[in-house]
Amino acid sequence: MRRDAVIWQLSIIGEAAGAISDETRAMAPEIPWKLIRGMRNGVLHRYFSVDWKIVYNVATKNVPELEHQVHALLRMLYPEIAARLDQRD
């Protein structure tokens, strides 16, 4: 069940990354947009051959880093939303 939840969350992140405009992506070139989308496609379409070590590393190392990168992007685009998120931390 836990693995399913992680895969689901990664697929949501990948789907969201695919919905971001090219203009916004250009504002954060440090974010690996294509890799994020590729991870989503890989885990959804090849569920029975998923490399769980890769999924674990992405979930524990890459996703926290991505969270900081996206938060920095939010500060640029929507400072009032970023300020509210800062208050939650």
* Set 40, 46, 84, 88: catalytic member: 40
User: What is the Cα Rg of the chain in Å?
Assistant: 14
40 among known catalytic residues: yes
* Set 2, 45, 68, 88: catalytic member: 45
> Which residue in 46, 58, 45, 77 sits closest to 13, CA to CA?
58
45 among known catalytic residues: yes
End-to-end CA distance of the chain: 28
Active site residues: 40, 45
